[in-house]
Amino acid sequence: MSMVDLPEQLGETEQAIRETAHRFAAEVLRPLGAKLDKLSAEEVIAEGSPLYDAHRQFRELGFTTLRSETMELSRADTVRLRAIIAAELAWGDCGLALGLAGSTFPPMIAHMAGRPDLGEQFTSDQIGCWAITEPDHGSDQLDFDGSISATGMDRGRPNCIARKDGNSVVITGQKSSWVSNGTIAETAALFCAYDDGGGGEMGQAVFLVDLKDGGVSRGKPTDKIGQRSLNQGEIFFDEVRIPIGNMAVGPEKYATFVDTLLCGTNAGMGASFVGVAQAALDHAVAYAKERKQGGVPIFQHQSVKARLFEMFRKVAAARALNQQVMIYNATAPKPRLELAIASKVTSTQTAFEVASEAMGIYGGAGIMRDNPIEMLMRDARIAMIEDGCNDILGLMAAERL
C-alpha cells in the first residue's frame, strides 16, 4: 500500500498496530470480502459462514478498546491511529470493515453516554448494530434537529415507538431494511421516538436493547448491488419490554448526542473510504505496470500516468482532510459536524471517482465479474447513500456555516 501519511510520523507501537491491521485486511478481509460478494445475502449469514470467524478474529485484535488513556497516546495521535486502522480495514473490504465497526455500536453508545453499567451488559463480544433509520424515515432520522425539513411540515408517524410503562419501556414497530448487521445482531443501539406517557409531543431517545428478548424478529437479509459482505435488514419489535434504565440518552439530550455521534460516524466513513479509494488506486497502478499495449506497459503512456496522478492526488487530499478533521474534532472544545460531513462526502465521492477511473485503466478487464475493480465501484457508490445521502449531509453541513 503506497500510503501518503509517513510511517516515520508513527511511533513503534502505532506502526505495529497499523501493520497488524494491514495484515488482517490483506489476509482475512480482502479474500473473504471477494468470496462473500458472490454469495446470496442468505448464504453470507448462514450458520458456519466465515463471516462470524472474521468477527471473532477482529475482537481478538483489540482495536475496539483503543483509547488514549490506555495507549499513553495523545488524543490527536489516538484518533489518527483510529483513522489509519479504519482505512486499512476498508482497504481490505469495506463491507466487512463497516460491519465490524457497526458491531461495536452498543458499547460505544454506553461509553459516550457515560453509562459504564450498560457497557458491562452491552459488550463488544456480541454483534451489535445501529438501528436509526425507518421505512418511512431515512433522511428524516439523520436530520436530527430538523434543519433541512420543509418549514411547518409534519413528518408523519414514526415507524418505531418506545412507550414508557412504569419502570419499563415497551417498543413497538420496525427499523429499515438498511440497518447494518440488522438480521444477525445480538444487541442494538436503538434510536427511536419516545412516548413518555405525558400526552405531549413525542421526543427521540436512545435505548440499548438485547435483541434476544422476546418479541424481536427480523426481515430477510437485504439483497443489494454492493457491500454485499455487509449484512443488512429490518428489525421488528412487537411489544418488546426493556428496563427504563436501558435508556442511554433521553429526549432532552438527544440532539446534542446525535450531533456528536454523527461527527464520529461521518469522520469514520471518511477514513474508511480513503482506504477504498487507495485500494482502487493500488490496483490501477499495479495493472498499468503489467498490461502492455503499443509495445510497452500502459504505465509508460503519458496520458495513463496523468490519469493515475489525478487519482493519487484525490486520494492524498481525501486522506489529509480526514486526518485533519479527526484531529480537530477530537481536540477542539466542540466537534464540528460540517467538517466531519466534508470528510465523509469527499472520501466517498473520491472512492467512487477513483474506482471508476481505475475501471477505465483496466479497459475491458475492468468490467469482468472476477475483477476487484467492479466490486470496489459498486461498494463505493453505495457509500454515497450509506449513513446519510451525501446531498442531504451537505445540506445539514451548510446549515452550520
Ligand X SMILES: Cc1cc2nc3c(=O)[nH]c(=O)nc-3n(C[C@H](O)[C@H](O)[C@H](O)COP(=O)(O)OP(=O)(O)OC[C@H]3O[C@@H](n4cnc5c(N)ncnc54)[C@H](O)[C@@H]3O)c2cc1C
Smallest distance, ligand X to C-beta of residue 39, A: 17
The nearest distance, CB 389 to ligand X, in angstroms, is 4
**Which of 132/304 has CB closer to ligand X?**
132
CA atoms within 13 A of residue 63's CA, in its CB half-sphere:
29
Q: Taking the CB of residue 109, how many other CB atoms lie within 10 A of it?
A: 26
Bridging pattern class, strands 292-293 and 296-297: antiparallel
To ligand X, the closest distance from the beta carbon of 196 in angstroms equals 23
Question: Between residues 25 and 185, which has the closer beta carbon with respect to ligand X?
Answer: 185
CA–CA dist 175, 6 (Å, integer)? 42
For residue 165, the 8-state DSSP code is: E
Least Å distance between CB 57 and ligand X?
21
Pairing of β 160-165 and β 187-195:
parallel
Residue 228 φ/ψ, nearest 5 degrees: -70, -15
Judge contact between 159 and 137, C-beta under 8 A. yes
Q: Give the contacts of 253 (CB within 8 A, at least 6 positions apart).
A: none
* Cα–Cα distances in angstroms (integers) from residue 43 to residues 40, 46, 93, 100, in the given order: 5, 5, 18, 18
| CA–CA gap between residue 41 and residue 230 (Å, rounded) | 9
| Number of DSSP helices (H) and strands (E) in the chain, helices first | 15, 10
Please say which residue, 78 or 181, places its beta carbon nearer to ligand X.
181
- Closest to ligand X by CB, 308 or 341: 341
Which residues does residue 247 pair with via DSSP β-bridges, in sequence order?
207
What gap in Å lies between CA 223 and CA 229, rounded to an integer?
Answer: 10
Question: CB of 142: closest distance to ligand X in angstroms?
Answer: 5
Select 77 or 374, whichever has its Cβ closest to ligand X. 374
| Grid cell at residue 183 | 438480521
Nearest distance from C-beta of residue 270 to ligand X, angstroms: 15
Q: How far is the CB of 73 from ligand X (least distance, A)?
A: 29
CB of 131 or CB of 377, closer to ligand X: 131
Which residue has its beta carbon closest to ligand X? 138
Q: Which stretches of the chain bind ligand X, using CB under 6 A?
A: 102, 130-133, 138-139, 142, 148, 175-176, 178-180, 227, 232, 382, 385-389, 391-392
Closer CB to ligand X, 181 or 246, in the complex = 181
Which residue, 82 or 175, is less far from ligand X as judged by CB?
A: 175
Q: Where are the beta strands (DSSP E) in 223-335?
A: 235-243, 247-249, 292-293, 296-297
| Grid cell of 4 as nine digits | 501518503
Q: How far is the CB of 118 from ligand X (least distance, A)?
A: 19
